A and B are shown apart, each in its own frame.
Chain A
Amino acid sequence: MKFIDGYRDSDLIGRIVRRIEISATGRYVFMEVCGGHTAAIRRFGINSILPRNIRLISGPGCPVCVTGKDFIDTLAAYSEMDDVMICSFGDLLRIPGTGGRSLEKMKAGGADIRVVFSCLDALETARRWPYKKVIFAGIGFETTAPGTAVAVKLAAEQKLDNFLVLSAHKVMPPAMETILREGTALNGFICPGHVAAITGADVFGFIPARYNTGCVVTGFEPADILVSILMLVLQANSGLPAVEIQYGRVVTASGNMTARKIMAEVFEPCDAEWRGLGIIQDSGLQLREKYTCCDAKKIIPIDVNREAETENCICGDILKGVREPADCPLFGTLCTPLNPEGACMVSEEGSCNAWYKYRITDG
Chain B
Amino acid sequence: MDEIITLNHGAGGRQSHDLISRVFAAAFGMPMPLTDSAIIEDAVNTLAFTTDSYVVDPVFFPGGDIGKLSICGTVNDLAVSGAVPKYISASFIIEEGFPVGHLRKIAESMAEEAHKAGVKIVTGDTKVVEKGKCDQLFITTSGIGMLQRDRTGISAGVEVARGDKLIINGSLGNHAIAVLGSRNKLSFTTPVISDCAPLNHMINKVLEKCKKIHFMRDLTRGGLSGVLNELAAICEKGIIIDENSIPVDGPVRGACEMLGFDPLYLANEGKILIVAASSESEEILSILKSDPLGRNSAIIGEISGQNEGRVILNTLTGGKRIVDMPSGVQLPRIC
Contact = CB atoms under 8 A, between A and B. Distances in A.
B322 A89 contact: no
B306 to A, nearest CB: 5
Interface in B285-330: 306-307, 310, 312-313, 315-322, 324, 327-328
B317 A64 contact: no
B-side interface size class: 35 or more
Contact of A8 (B250, B259, B310, B317): B317
A48 B321 CA distance: 8
B316 A44 contact: yes
A63 B334 contact: yes
Given A63-B335, A108-B5, A358 B321 contact: yes
Given A357-B324, A363-B306, A45 B254 contact: no
A183 interface: no
Contacts of A115: 331-332
B61 to A, nearest CB: 19
Contact of A4 (B7, B257, B328): B257
Given A8-B316, A91-B332, A349-B333, A42 B321 contact: yes
A105 B319 contact: no
Nearest to B316: A8
A130 interface: no
A329 interface: no
Contacts of A162: none
A108 B318 contact: no
A359 interface: yes
B322 A358 contact: yes
B317 A10 contact: yes
Nearest to B334: A89
A267 B13 CA distance: 41
A143 B254 CA distance: 20
Contact of B332 (A45, A63, A90): A90
Given A1-B254, A104-B8, A361-B312, A348 B331 contact: yes
B327 A10 contact: no
A90 B4 CA distance: 20
Contact of A47 (B7, B14, B312, B319): B319
Contact of B333 (A13, A109, A347): A347
A94 B334 contact: no
Given A143-B335, A356-B324, A101 B1 contact: yes
A337 B327 contact: yes
B253 interface: yes
B15 interface: yes
10 closest Cβ pairs, A-B complex: A45-B319, A90-B331, A90-B332, A358-B321, A48-B319, A108-B6, A45-B315, A222-B317, A89-B334, A337-B327
B260 interface: yes
Contacts of A338: 8, 14-15, 327-328
B327 A46 contact: no
B234 to A, nearest CB: 20
Contacts of A301: none
12 contacts: A14-B318, A45-B317, A64-B334, A99-B1, A100-B1, A105-B1, A105-B4, A105-B6, A141-B335, A338-B328, A358-B322, A361-B320
Interface of A: 1, 4, 8, 10, 13-14, 17, 35-36, 39, 42-49, 63-64, 89-94, 99-101, 104-105, 107-109, 115, 117, 139-141, 143-144, 194, 222, 336-338, 347-349, 356-361, 363
Nearest to A346: B331
Given A338-B327, A349-B334, A360-B319, 13 more contacts: A1-B254, A10-B317, A14-B318, A42-B321, A44-B315, A45-B313, A45-B320, A63-B335, A64-B334, A101-B1, A109-B4, A115-B332, A338-B328
A157 to B, nearest CB: 25
Nearest to B244: A10
A234 to B, nearest CB: 21
Nearest to A222: B317
Given A105-B4, A361-B312, A140 B335 contact: yes
B45 interface: no
Given A105-B1, A105-B4, A338-B327, A89 B332 contact: yes
B273 to A, nearest CB: 21
Contacts of A4: 253, 257
B18 to A, nearest CB: 9
Chain B CB within 10 A, most for which of A13, A36, A45, A143: A45
A10 B334 contact: no
Given A117-B184, A194-B335, A348-B331, A360 B321 contact: yes
B331 A44 contact: no
Contact of B250 (A1, A10, A47, A49): A1
Contacts of A91: 331-334
B322 A13 contact: no
Given A1-B250, A347-B333, A336 B315 contact: no
Contacts of A101: 1
A46 B331 contact: no
A8 B244 CA distance: 10
Contacts of B262: 43
Chain A CB within 10 A, most for which of B6, B259, B262: B6
Chain A CB within 10 A, most for which of B7, B321, B335: B335
Contact of B316 (A10, A107, A109, A358): A10
B321 A43 contact: yes
Nearest to B186: A117
Chain A CB within 10 A, most for which of B257, B310, B313, B331: B331
Nearest to B310: A361
Given A64-B334, A337-B327, A49 B6 contact: no
Nearest to A17: B318
B334 A359 contact: no
Contacts of B306: 363
B4 A44 contact: no
Interface in B158-191: 184
Nearest to B18: A338
A120 to B, nearest CB: 13
Contacts of A141: 335
A222 to B, nearest CB: 4
